[in-house]
Amino acid sequence: MAASTTAPRKNFITRDHRYVYLGGSLIALLGLSMFYSAPSPYSFIPSPSVFGTALAVICWFFLGVSAMALLVKWAYWNSYGSTVMKRPLIVRVSRYLSYLDAAACALLVFDRFVLKLAYIINTAVHAESNPTETLSTMVYMAYNQRSLFAIGISYTVRLALFGTAIAFVLALLMVFLRIQEPDKRDNDFVKFIKIVANRFARFYIFVIRGTPMMVQSLILYNAVFGLFKRTGMSVSDINRVWPLFLAGLVTISLNSTAYLAEVLRGGILAVDAGQMEAARSLGMTHWQAMRKVVFPQAIKNSLPAIGNEFIINIKDSSVLCVVGVSDLMFMTRSVAGIYYKGTECYLIAAIVYLILTYLSSLLLKALTGKMTAPDNTKRHQGNHTADLGLPSSN
Amino acid sequence: MSNEPIIKIEQLEKSFGDLHVLKGIDLTIHRGEVVCIIGASGSGKSTLLRCINLLEEADAGHIWFDGQDLMDLKVNLNALRQKIGMVFQGFNLFNNKSVLDNCTLAPMSVKHVPKAEAEATAIRHLKTVGLESFIHADSRRLSGGQKQRVAIARALCMEPEIMLFDEPTSALDPEIVGEVLDVMKTLAQQGMTMVVVTHEMAFAKEVSDRVVFMDQGVILEQGAPREVFGNPREPRTREFLSRYLEDKME
């Protein structure tokens, strides 16, 4: 046990052999677990066949070789380099063996997992009635109600996309109000206007961020509906001028405005104060300096966070189903009501939301990565949130 | 250099909260004069400079610029600042603009100079600072010395009557301080009125017409560089200069 002086045995797991032997063993185990699971009707490698047995033997053989190598390593800890296992020929053969092992595993995974999945999907799609097994029933419902889900996805994407775009424009106005500070040299009227603008923006952001979007959507929809009602319009007329989609879009836009205004304000604060001072020292007005120097940099700083807001809106638009906007969540609830299968339906919704947000984050990463690429100053490094994966909810 | 004062400061006071930074400053700058303000960090040099173009609002006292009292709240700040060029310690080039756009932005948006004319002026001043080959460069890609020279050219593009330099070389490494000081020397020789807050004693000695020594918010001593450096009257000035020279030796 003098070995511990040079290389402690606790390093056993982490030495270089781990790649070929440990990794290969895991692959072999995966392949074997596939081999011993039940084959589907699509399977082309039946268990008792010569080919199937050969694949299993390759996996077992590799497991055996690995076990032997690891035992030799354990026994000859310090002189492992001079053992037979380190001879170039043996090293090369075990490497080729690991490729064979991986190939066998890949074939088995394809046969027992991919083809089985294809079988489940194919039978579920053509099933006469709703199957009982979880995966099958999910496929069955998703396929048979695909038009409802498609409408829901389209609503959700449009709500998030247009909502975020409108909110961005409104947030530019809102942040402009928010950053107004009365100056000693302003006249009383300007001072008053600036204070009112600042207070209004603060109050708006305070209220919107302090209340759930679900409540906001219900208040907005019902309040506007009630207003039209008072003018004596019929319900069908009101539904025409104040459709649910519009109610949802207005809600999501007004809600995001508050968050994006704060995002932009953070972006403005992140611009070095020297930029403003330099612009003012050249005689530019506060507004000119903001528009031409500070805002462009602030928006660039904020791009990743604006992208995050879009992804958040994909998810948070789900609360709009309470007013009846036909988004993905609303449609999922309808499907769940048709089949009385809550868990499976909401699992479908979860998977679709996950795909939507993942695709969006990939897209945004590509877009904002390109736009912020030449800017590698230290100050910006802390500001990139696009690569954090999926953002949390508001 | 004439005897006509361009800036006259009287009993200027400025506090940041409890910190009394300027305690009654009197200072007159004449046209064509180069004044260097020296002193320890925290003595109020930069604050004084920033009060002149109202980046800081002084609390009390008077600043006359061309006979106009800047402490009057009705003064048009933007018109005033066009005549006062400022160069910062941190360069403060516009990060979202190229070198040329840095120089043309203010003339075009403030003075409404046509683009072609603004660019011609900018190129002329960029030549003065030796950066005509960097016209289309990304301003963030330049070295510190190049950035500061662009900042000087940018200020010159507004054709100011006076230039304020707030420790223009303090953020530069010693090897490239020279290229910025050379540009400033050229400016001084062309008769530009300059107020320079600096720690470059050699520059102050060589270029300035007058050296002002500030300590703890007051002007302790001022005079020709020969007198202030050669034979300082105040013990505090002597102490500051001797410590400074010792540091330089090491």
Q: Choose, out of B53, B92, B141, B157, the residue to mutate when testing the contact with A (most A CBs < 10 Å).
A: B92
**Residue bearing the bigger pLDDT, A18 or B41:** B41
> Rounded to 5, what percent of chain A is helix, strand, coil?
80, 0, 20
| pLDDT tens string A154-174 | 999 999 999 999 999 999 999
CB B92 within 8 A of CB A275: yes
Q: Which of B53, B75, B91 lies at the smallest CB-CB distance from A281?
A: B53
Q: What are phi and psi of B54, to 5 degrees?
A: 65, 25
Q: Which pLDDT belongs to residue A351?
A: 93
- The DSSP symbol for A40 reads P
pLDDT at A253 over 90: yes
> What pLDDT is recorded for position A169?
94
Select the residue of A274, A280, A296 nearest B96 (Cβ to Cβ).
Answer: A296
How close A294 gets to chain B, by Cα (Å)?
Answer: 9
Give residue A226's pLDDT: 87
pLDDT digits (tens, 9 = 90+) for B191-250: 899 999 988 888 888 889 999 999 988 999 999 988 888 888 888 988 888 877 665 544
**Least CB–CB distance from B110: residue in A272, A282, A375:** A282
Between chains, do A288 and B94 touch, taking CB under 8 Å as contact?
no
Over residues A26-49, the pLDDT tens digits come to 888 998 888 888 888 888 877 778
**CB nearest to A274's CB, from B75, B90, B138:** B90
pLDDT band, very low/low/confident/very high, at B2 (cuts 50, 70, 90): low
A275·B92 Cβ contact <8 A: yes
pLDDT tens string B85-125: 999 998 899 988 889 999 999 999 988 989 999 899 999 99
Q: Are B33 and B82 in contact (CB under 8 A)?
A: no
Cβ within 8 Å, pair A283-B79: yes
Query: Which of A364-373's residues contact partners 24+ apart within 8 Å by CB, and which partners?
Result: A364/A304, A364/A307, A364/A308, A364/A310, A364/A311, A367/A307, A368/A303, A368/A304, A368/A307, A371/A300, A371/A303, A372/A300, A372/A303, A372/A304
Nearest partner of A283 among B81, B196, B41, B34, judged by Cα = B81
- Answer yes or no: do A282 and B154 touch at CB < 8 A: yes
| Residue written as token pair 């063996």 | A97
What mean pLDDT comes out for the span A270-296? 91
Q: Which residues of B touch A282 (CB under 8 A)?
A: 81-82, 85, 105-106, 110, 154-155, 158
A8/B contact by beta carbon, under 8 A? no
- Please state, in angstroms and rounded to a whole number, the distance separating the CA atoms of residues A330 and A322: 8
What are the tokens at A3? 């070995």
Give the closest of B78, B155, B158 to A285, CB-based: B78
Could you tell me if A310 and A364 are in contact, meaning their C-beta atoms sit under 8 angstroms apart? Answer: yes
Inter-chain contact A274–B73, Cβ cutoff 8 Å?
no
Rounded CA-CA distance A349/B201 in Å is: 72
Looking at every residue in chain B, the average pLDDT score rounds to: 88
DSSP per-residue string spanning chain B: --S-EEEEEEEEEEEETTEEEEEEEEEEEETT-EEEEEE-TTSSHHHHHHHHTTSS--SEEEEEETTEETTSTTS-HHHHHHTEEEE-TT----TTSBHHHHHHHHHHHHS---HHHHHHHHHHHHHHTT-GGGTTSBGGGS-HHHHHHHHHHHHHTT--SEEEEESTTTTS-HHHHHHHHHHHHHHHHTT-EEEEE-S-HHHHHHH-SEEEEEETTEEEEEE-HHHHHHS-SSHHHHHHHHHHHHHHH-
Q: Report the pLDDT value the prediction gives residue A9, as an integer from 0 to 100.
A: 58
The whole-number average pLDDT for the span B67-78 is 84
Q: Is the pLDDT of residue A373 over 80?
A: no
CB pairs under 8 A between A and B: 79
**Nearest-CB residue to B57 (from A184, A282, A374):** A184
| Residue A79 pLDDT level (bands cut at 50, 70, 90) | confident
- Rounded CA-CA distance A105/A258 in Å is 53
CB < 8 Å to A292, chain B: 105, 109
User: What is the per-residue pLDDT across B128-151, written as a single tens digit (0 to 9) for each?
Assistant: 888 888 888 888 888 888 899 899
Q: Does residue A385 carry a pLDDT above 60?
A: no
Among B157, B135, B38, B189, residue whose Cα is nearest residue B86: B157
% of chain B at pLDDT higher than 70: 97
Which of B95, B151, B155 lies closest to A275 in CB terms?
B95
Which chain B residue lies closest to A379 (C-alpha atoms)? B95
pLDDT for A331 beyond 70? yes
Share of chain A above pLDDT 70, in %: 89
Q: In this structure, are residues B135 and B126 in contact, taking their beta carbons and an 8 Å threshold? A: yes
Distance CA A308, CA A168 (A): 12
> Chain B residue closest to A184 (CA)?
B73
Q: What is the pLDDT of residues A110-158, one digit of tens each?
A: 888 888 888 888 888 887 777 778 888 888 888 888 888 899 999 999 9
More confident residue, A394 or A59: A59
- Tell me the shortest Cα–Cα distance from A278 to chain B, in angstroms: 6
Distance CA B228, CA B241 (A): 9
Q: Look at A277 and B88 and tell me if their CB atoms are within 8 Å.
A: yes
User: Chain A partners of B168 at a C-beta cutoff of 8 Å?
Assistant: none
In this prediction, residue A381 carries a pLDDT of: 38
What is the reported pLDDT for B247? 58
To test the contact with chain A by mutation, choose from B76, B80, B83, B95 the residue with the greatest count of A C-beta atoms within 10 A, namely B95
| pLDDT, mean of residues A299-307 | 89
Chain B residues with CB under 8 Å of A297 CB are: 95-96
